[in-house]
Amino acid sequence: MMKIRKRVAGAALLTFAVLLASSGKSWAAGETWEQRVEITAHRGNSSQAPDNTLEAFESAMKTGADWIETDVTQSKDGILVLFHDEDLGPATGKQGKIWELTFEELRQINPKPSMGPSFRDARVPSLSEAMDLCKDKIKMNLEIKVNGHQTADFVARVVAMVREKGMDDQCMITSFQYSVLEQVKALAPGLKTGLITNTAIDPAQPLPAADYVMLNVSLTIPQVVSGLQAQGKKVGVWTVNDGTALEKCRLAGADNVITDKPGTIL
Ligand code: G3P
Ligand code: MG
């Protein structure tokens, strides 16, 4: 899908260039926003498969998305696992907190029965198996979810796993907690990072540990996006699920669109 999108846009650009040349005007060729912007499948293709599962990541790959975003936390026995909520209840219908179950216990649970019988075999994945699935196929935005129950080396273990898998160039680490990004940069200065925010941000604020800023769509105004970009940041926007939100991203010149519906947005 991505290749098709770029090819169609490329053909349109070529036609435009020919028309300009024949009219005698000069024109510097450049990528359009639609060609340049990257698409991130939020928790995988979460509108079509249970979020944060291998099924959602495989589905995202089929849409041609550039990235998947996923939420990293730990099971009771310290395994790095992918799950959004602290409470198991809302998604799974089971009692308990994510840190109260071992990985093997989590594996007995369907992470989102509301998605129907076609996904009855979906399971909470480990970060390791998700990385094996995505390696060389789709980039990974690993959001670190801090809940106060993880081991002290939680962030370091995520960084170590990225290195162990040889995926430094294919991953970024994001978090609502800026201190997490500082930890990542102290351990791996070359690893890309992103600060997620759902509150207003001063674009002039120095954020040396963040390569990206991920803005809630309600905060996406051109002056904020261009101000952050002027500081050398890339700007992502979440969660972009309709044409109105997408148009906000286009007008503001966002670099990355994070969506539950990558197929529709693409
Ligand atoms: O990437 C931004 C987004 O994932 C943050 O929100 O709650 O879906 O993890 P949430
Ligand atoms: Mg997330």
183's enclosing H/E stretch is: helix 178-187
180: left (phi over 0), alpha (psi -120 to 50) or beta: alpha
Write down the pLDDT at residue 29: 60
Cβ–ligand 1 contact at 258 (below 6 Å): yes
Cβ–ligand 1 contact at 238 (below 6 Å): yes
72's enclosing H/E stretch is: strand 67-74
Q: Is residue 111 part of a domain?
A: yes
Write down the pLDDT at residue 25: 29
Cβ–ligand 1 contact at 68 (below 6 Å): no
Residue nearest to atom 3 of ligand 1 (CA): 238
Q: Closest ligand 1 atom to the C-alpha of 84?
A: 9
Q: Is residue 195 part of a domain?
A: yes
Q: What is the CATH number of the domain that holds 243?
A: 3.20.20.190
Cβ–ligand 1 contact at 71 (below 6 Å): yes
Q: Is residue 5 part of a domain?
A: no
Instruction: Give me the residues of the chain with pLDDT under 50, please.
Output: 1-4, 6-28
Q: Closest ligand 1 atom to the C-alpha of 196?
A: 2
Q: Is residue 79 part of a domain?
A: yes
Cβ-Cβ contacts under 8 Å for 128 (sequence gap 6 or more): 80, 161, 165
Q: Is residue 265 part of a domain?
A: no
| Rounded distance between C-alpha atoms, residue 145 and residue 139, angstroms | 19
Q: Is residue 2 part of a domain?
A: no
Q: Is residue 1 part of a domain?
A: no
Cβ–ligand 1 contact at 188 (below 6 Å): no
Domain count, the chain: 1
| Degrees, nearest 5: CA angle 87-116-44 | 65
Q: Closest ligand 1 atom to the C-alpha of 141?
A: 1
Q: Is residue 264 part of a domain?
A: no
The residues that bridge with 238 in the sheet, in sequence order, are: 216, 258
Question: How far, in Å, is the centroid of ligand 2 from the Cα of 143?
Answer: 5
Write down the pLDDT at residue 30: 83
Write down the pLDDT at residue 266: 94
Residue 197's domain comprises 10-20+28-259
Q: What is the pLDDT of residues 37-78, one digit of tens each?
A: 999 999 999 999 999 999 999 999 999 999 999 999 999 999
Closest CA to 243 of 231, 235, 233, 251: 251
